[in-house]
Structure 1
Amino acid sequence: MMQFHQALPKVELHAHLNTCISSTTIEKLMLQKPHLNIQHNMTMIRKGQTRTLEECFDMFKIIHQLTDSVEHIFMVTKDVIKEFAADGVKYLELRSTPRDGNTTGMSKKSYVEAILEAIKQCRQENMDIDVRFLLSIDRRGGPTVAMETVKLAEEFFTSSDGLVVGLDLSGDPEVGHAKSFIDPLNAARNIGLKLAVHMAEVQNKNEEWELFLGLPPDRIGHGTFLHPEAGGSDQLVNIIKKHQIPIELCLTSNVKGQTVSSYNCHHFQYWYNHGHPCVLCTDGKGVFASNLSQEYQIAESAFNLSKAQLWDLSFRSINYIFAPESVKSHLRSQWNDLKPGLFNEVLHK
């Protein structure tokens, strides 16, 4: 049945570049950097689905060591885009925190330029995928670095011919406070950038969530503990419903990250059953070893969804992308062109 999920056209809106890097790409990078002596980690790198949470965090560290130059950022971006395209993803929003390479001369600006160049090359090669980019603010950097990222985002927003569409706030939810980031996020909104904000990944931060919802963001990342059954409140839910803020839901990432005990208990069910805008995402397909087709398959199984419901879930995701209406219209046509063939195949099995 995986054929249906792979053939299903899909939208991916919550994909952190570095955690999307596959083990195949990691092995390619390792060959170029033998001096890092990462070879002893091969068992963990090849573990895939059986990787523990601790090993996932170890993977983050390895990936950062391996991607410290413009050349490597360009290479991994191209690989990640190719892999999403091979999985039936037709529209992708990548996100990443601009960073320096201390020894390689990579600047935050050249980091972003490398990603955008890779996106452009994939376009020139006529890959069947439309890719956009969000610059990420890492909470650990604090408000000063956040504002620097907004300035960088503004520069690329006006010069990238529509490739840079928004700003993401992410990083350790236990670091910093929402009030430190409201001004940078408002500045980004005033420029015209869309906002994706990681929220409610840990419990008991209702005051912070209310501050973020006061913006309000254009999409919420995870939103694990927002609803009353998970320790949030009806008030928070009402604000989210009032503004119809879509929620980016990452099933495998949350179960692997142990913020959700099992797929059956995932908050996807709460929001989906309430008819709220939901979009299935991978978060980090490489580190968490699950592509978007698998996420749709898990949703079908865990929440007893029909193929028609999976189709609708994917089709409605087009509404929540940060690219302009003309892109949405093109994608809807693409989905509708693919639909008859996809369902004919299901009927004849």
Structure 2
Amino acid sequence: MPVVAEKMPKIDLHCHLDGSLDLEVTHKLLAERGEDYNFQEFRKLMQVDPDCQNLAEYLKRFDLPNRCLQDVEGIKTSAYHFAKNAALENVKYIEARFAPVQSMKQGLKPIEIIEAVEAGLAQARGEFDIETGMIICMMRGMDDEFNYSIAKAGREMLGAGVVACDIAGDEESYPMSQQMELFRSVKALDMPFTIHVGETGNAQNVRDAIDVGAVRLGHGIAMARNEELMKYCASRHVGVEICPTSNLQTKAYRHIKDCPICLFMEHGIPVSLNTDNRTVSNTNLSTEFDKVSVSFRLTDEQIHKIYTDSVEMSFASDDVKHRLLSKWR
């Protein structure tokens, strides 16, 4: 299976830019900005240990990468290598999600950050066989007015690189009930959105996200223990972005057998298989497919369905979707 996974075309719909930076490039960018690290120590600061204990420990690995995403050149270079590395493992389409607020510490405006990411992605598209989209992340814990301004900045480039928006952050402290009005406003912008929900066990967050208009759910694990909610999700044809390795590392579940990918598929829920954070989790999409395929003995038909469902639930244009479907052999 490993050779098959590496060679087959793949779609990554849930992948954070700051958690997926090229190690060597980031090491060099930080050195140019006055932060020189021993490379082996640097690697430990960028990637979680196999025995990572929780989400809080996992999130510490984002401190360094965000420090080289504070100027246009650093952002553009990082985005280029992000897409390049995905293309080299035969990922044909990737949606890069990022929170502009994390790159505003030195005065960049949200639109400047979004344009810099798109410049790097566009360069990679011109050099490699890959299509890209940007998902603009709002952050839990920020006030609605600020988050709405981030969504509006993304809306300015909708169709010009931006494909959707999202909200990430501490789901347990800031449940969906606090963000319903925000997403009603985002929906009024005619801005598509996915939402990080259900990662920490709160099924009500999943229900609220669907009700407010999310067409995809980031993780959605809490739904696996709720038969009625799975049926509701399937009836609305809401897709779920599955990220096995990162969920294991953050202890969202304890064993790969607890990953609900097949359970969701059995209930008619569209699923995609994703990396979440390629560098922080020390993974890629081939590894994710190998891990899930071996654990659940996926058939060729199931793997093909994951690919086609991923294309259909992507925020790509119809033309891009048609090209992606034609790449499956």
TM-score normalized with structure 1 length:
0.86
Per-residue CA distance 1:18-46 (angstroms, 9 max, x = gap):
00113223322232133466768335147
**Which residue is 2:34 aligned to?**
34
The question of whether the paired residues in 1 share the 8 Å contact of 2:195 and 2:217 is answered with: yes
**How does 1:300-319 map onto structure 2 within 5 Å?**
300-319=293-312
Following superposition, the deviation at residue 51 of structure 1 comes to 6.7
The 1:109–1:4 alpha-carbon spacing in structure 2 relative to 1, beyond 3 Å, is same
- Which one is further off, 47-56 or 322-331? 47-56
Deviation at 1:327, TM superposition (A): 1.7
Q: CA deviation at 1:252?
A: 0.3
CA offsets 1:192-220 (integer angstroms, 9 cap, x no match) = 321111111112x3443332221231101
Q: Distance in 2 between matches of 1:177 and 1:23?
A: 34
Give me the whole-angstrom Cα distance separating, in 1, the residues matched to 2:184 and 2:111.
22
Deviations 1:257-276 (A, max 9, x none): 11110111112231123332
From 221, 227, 233, give the equivalent of 1:234. Answer: 227
After superposition, the CA RMSD in angstroms is 2.3
What is the aligned partner in structure 1 of residue 146 from structure 2? 145
Aligned to 1:225: 222
Contact 2:210 2:238 in 1 (8 A): no
**Partner residue of 2:94 out of 92, 95, 100:** 92
- How far is 1:249 from its partner? 0.2
Pick which of 4-13 and 36-45 moved more. 36-45
Instruction: String of CA shifts for 1:271-308, please: whole Å, max 9, x gaps.
Output: 12333211000100110011001101111111011344
- Does 1:23 pair with 2:23? yes
Greater mean alpha carbon deviation, residues 179-188 or residues 51-60: 51-60
What is the rounded CA distance, in whole Å, between the counterparts of 1:263 and 1:7 in structure 2?
23
> Displaced runs of 4+ in structure 1, greater than 6 A?
46-49
- CA change 1:282–1:40 in 2 (3 A) is closer
Residue type matched to 2:5 in 1?
A: H
1:208 and 2:191 are equivalent in the alignment: no
3-state SS in 1 of match to 2:200: coil
In the aligned structure 1, how far is the partner of 2:313 from the partner of 2:103?
A: 34
Structure with the greater alpha carbon radius of gyration: 1
1:178 equivalent among 176, 198, 223: 176
What amino acid maps onto 1:25 in structure 2?
Answer: V
State the Cα distance separating 1:173 from its structure 2 match.
Answer: 0.8
Deviations 1:139-189 (A, max 9, x none): 1213122111121122222xxx44111111111112323233222322322
Gaps of 5+ in 2: none
Residue 77 (str. 1) matches residue 79 (str. 2): yes
Other-structure match for 2:6: 6
Counterpart in the other structure of 2:254: 261
Judged with a 3 Å threshold, the aligned counterparts in structure 2 of structure 1 residues 47 and 278 are, in CA distance, closer, same or farther, namely closer
Q: 1:44 to 1:109 in 2, by over 3 A?
A: same
Equivalent-residue separation in structure 2 for 1:38 and 1:108 (angstroms): 32
* Farther off after superposition, 80-89 or 66-75: 66-75
| 2:310 is equivalent to residue 321 of structure 1 | no
Q: AA paired with 2:212?
A: L
The answer on whether the counterparts of 1:77 and 1:115 sit within 8 Å (CA) in structure 2 is yes
Aligned in 2, Cα 1:212/1:102: closer, same or farther, shift over 3 Å?
Answer: closer
Q: Is the CA contact 2:140–2:171 (under 8 Å) kept in the aligned structure 1? A: yes
Letter in 1 for 2:64: I
Which of 328, 333, 340 is the matching residue for 2:326? Answer: 333
**Aligned ranges 1:279-298 → 2 under 5 Å:** 279-298=272-291
- Aligned equivalents of 1:133 and 1:284: distance in 2? 15
TM-score (norm 2): 0.91
139, 150, 161: which is aligned to 1:163? 161
Aligned to 1:67: 69
CA distance in 2: counterparts of 1:62 and 1:95, whole angstroms: 18
What is the number of residues matched between the two proteins?
327
Call closer, same or farther: CA 1:10–1:139 in 2, change over 3 Å. Answer: same
Separation of aligned partners in 2, 1:72 and 1:215: 36
Question: Does structure 2 retain, via aligned residues, the 8 Å contact 1:99–1:111?
Answer: no
